[in-house]
């Protein structure tokens, strides 16, 4: 489950486009923020994707991506030309393609590596989709099959692309747009695949699986996102971060805690039962006069995280070891998980204590992101203080099923007992 947003320059405070995404995956599915430089490849080279091999491009762009640790593809990212893309799982009445092919995350990364504008990225995805198809298991510990939707932007224009097997429709964004895990393009698409051409029809109405949507609450989250976008006539990077932290109207109550609701919110927290997904990484993009400015949490739970700056031409902070689904105290994503999982034991107290410092740090970072390394070090130090404070907080009584679901995942990840003693 994911949520993505774009706001065109006429709706922003600084007259520049803004983009944001929460990536929702399973709770131990660590997500790496990575820089991959531009490269040239010999002719006839094959690129090994998760399930199939395809011909490699002669030249690939430099990209910054957020990638689930066990996949080649990416949940979101940007390239050196200022193209930014996010993908969404879609559930169609025709069912999900199980035959191994390209995954939606691979289509996203391939478009970033091969396109120099949003329209070009749209073309890369639709051509690869028609040639190779999409499909294969995209779940970490639990099988998960789905179709894909994409939000694509380049600072000048933006598109929503929604797919069903090898078919597709796209719509150019006017003003602003939210996209979640539900088909949203109606009869006003700007183009549609040849196999669906003919009399205009409501794309979303034809393909939406209403039963799956009732589980994922995709249309509801999309409506909530659209409401939050519309509520602000002049968005900036920090207002987009705030949207990614939204827990719905219930979440505005200071006593709100993730275990008290079964709802799937934009800032999503996993729990027992069907809510396996949670927000495992978040990104905001801003096309400034000085170039594309990116902000990544590089951690789960944006409400408990700090958005930190990244841009092309600067060193992207990285861990010493490759990320995996096993706890690594040296890895930033896993260090934050200690804080995240401690915070769930008394969420109201923890969030009340850390939110003012979180917001103050982001206010400084967005005002001056010149020294990227210093921003990341300062954020790391703040999270270390928050972890100590969360461990010292009084734990609240938790529901047995909720607490057990976290104990099970802590054990699977190998999180030390000291980090989860009160789970």
The predicted pLDDT at position 69 comes to: 96
The predicted pLDDT at position 165 comes to: 97
pLDDT at 349 over 50: yes
The predicted pLDDT at position 315 comes to: 87
pLDDT at 17 over 90: yes
Q: Is the dihedral of CA 233, 239, 243, 248 positive or negative?
A: negative
Domains in the chain: ranges and CATH: 2-326 (3.60.60.10)
The predicted pLDDT at position 420 comes to: 41
The predicted pLDDT at position 9 comes to: 96
163-220 residue pLDDT tens: 999 999 999 999 999 999 999 999 999 999 999 999 999 999 999 999 988 888 889 9
The predicted pLDDT at position 421 comes to: 40
Look over the chain and give the mean of its residue pLDDT values, rounded to a whole number.
94
The predicted pLDDT at position 422 comes to: 41
In a 3-state reduction of DSSP, which class is residue 66?
A: strand
48-66 residue pLDDT tens: 999 999 999 999 999 999 9
The predicted pLDDT at position 215 comes to: 83
The predicted pLDDT at position 273 comes to: 66
Mind telling me the catalytic residues?
2
Share of the chain above pLDDT 70, in %: 97
267-285 residue pLDDT tens: 999 987 657 899 999 999 9
Compute the half-sphere exposure of residue 158: CA atoms within 13 Å on the CB side of its CA. 28
Find the mean pLDDT for residues 327-343. Answer: 95
The predicted pLDDT at position 423 comes to: 40
Find the mean pLDDT for residues 300-320. Answer: 93
Question: How far apart (Å, rounded) are the C-alpha atoms in residues 354 and 141?
Answer: 32
The predicted pLDDT at position 276 comes to: 83
> 210's torsion region: left (phi>0), alpha (psi -120 to 50) or beta?
alpha
Beta strands in 166-257 (DSSP E): 167-172, 176-179, 191-192
Task: Quote the pTM value.
Answer: 0.96
Q: Are 277 and 26 in contact (CB under 8 A)?
A: yes
List, as own/partner pairs, every contact residues 317-323 make where C-beta atoms lie below 8 angstroms and the sequence separation is at least 24, other chains included.
Answer: 317/33, 317/372, 317/373, 317/376, 318/32, 318/33, 318/34, 318/35, 319/32, 322/32, 322/69, 323/30, 323/31, 323/32, 323/69
Q: Which residues pair with 3 in a beta bridge?
A: 22
Share of the chain above pLDDT 90, in %: 86
Question: How far apart (Å, rounded) are the C-alpha atoms in residues 47 and 40?
Answer: 13
355-366 residue pLDDT tens: 999 999 999 999
Find the mean pLDDT for residues 394-420. Answer: 81
Measured between alpha carbons, how far is residue 393 from residues 255, 358, 396, 401, 408 in Å? 15, 18, 9, 22, 22
The predicted pLDDT at position 129 comes to: 98
Give the CA-trace dihedral at 239, 378, 375, 65, to 10 degrees: -80
pLDDT at 233 over 80: yes
pLDDT at 119 over 50: yes
- Of residues 246 and 401, which shows the higher confidence score? 246
The residues near 408 (Cβ < 8 Å, ≥ 6 apart) are none
The end-to-end CA distance of the chain, in Å, is: 25
pLDDT at 354 over 70: yes
In a 3-state reduction of DSSP, which class is residue 63?
A: strand
């Amino acid at each position: 489950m994911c949520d993505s947003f774009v706001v065109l320059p006429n709706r922003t405070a600084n007259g520049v486009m803004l983009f944001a995404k929460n990536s929702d995956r399973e709770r131990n599915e660590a997500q790496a923020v990575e820089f991959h430089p531009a490269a040239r490849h010999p002719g006839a080279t094959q690129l090994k994707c998760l399930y199939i091999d395809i011909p490699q491009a002669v030249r690939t762009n430099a990209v910054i991506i957020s990638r689930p640790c066990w996949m080649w593809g990416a949940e979101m990212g940007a390239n050196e030309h200022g193209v930014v893309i996010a993908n969404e799982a879609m559930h169609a009445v025709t069912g999900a393609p199980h035959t191994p092919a390209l995954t939606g995350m691979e289509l996203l990364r391939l478009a970033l590596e091969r396109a120099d504008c949003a329209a070009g990225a749209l073309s890369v995805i639709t051509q690869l989709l028609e040639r190779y198809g999409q499909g294969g298991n995209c779940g970490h510990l639990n099988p998960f099959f789905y179709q894909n939707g994409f939000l694509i932007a380049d600072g000048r224009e933006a598109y929503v692309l929604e797919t069903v097997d090898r078919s597709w429709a796209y719509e150019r964004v006017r003003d602003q747009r939210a996209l979640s895990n539900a088909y949203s393009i109606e009869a006003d698409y700007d183009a549609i695949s040849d196999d669906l051409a003919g009399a205009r029809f409501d794309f979303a109405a034809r393909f939406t699986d209403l039963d799956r949507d009732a589980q994922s609450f995709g249309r509801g989250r999309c409506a909530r996102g659209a409401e939050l976008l519309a509520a602000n006539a002049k968005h900036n990077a920090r207002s987009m971060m705030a949207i990614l932290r939204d827990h719905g109207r219930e979440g505005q109550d200071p006593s709100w805690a993730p275990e008290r609701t079964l709802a799937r919110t934009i800032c999503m927290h996993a729990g027992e039962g069907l809510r396996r997904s949670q927000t495992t990484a978040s990104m905001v993009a801003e096309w400034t006069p000085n170039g594309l400015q990116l902000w990544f949490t590089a951690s789960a739970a944006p409400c408990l995280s700090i958005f930190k700056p990244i841009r092309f031409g600067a060193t992207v902070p990285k861990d010493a070891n490759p990320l995996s689904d096993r706890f690594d105290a040296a890895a930033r994503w896993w260090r934050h998980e200690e804080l995240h999982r401690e915070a769930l034991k008394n969420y109201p107290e923890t969030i009340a204590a850390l939110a003012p410092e979180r917001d103050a740090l982001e206010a400084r970072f967005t005002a001056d992101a010149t020294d990227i390394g210093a921003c990341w070090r300062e954020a790391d130090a703040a999270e270390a203080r928050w972890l100590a404070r969360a461990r010292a907080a009084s734990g609240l009584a938790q529901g047995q099923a909720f607490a057990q679901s976290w104990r099970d995942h802590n054990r699977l990840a190998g999180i030390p007992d000291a980090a989860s003693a009160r789970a």
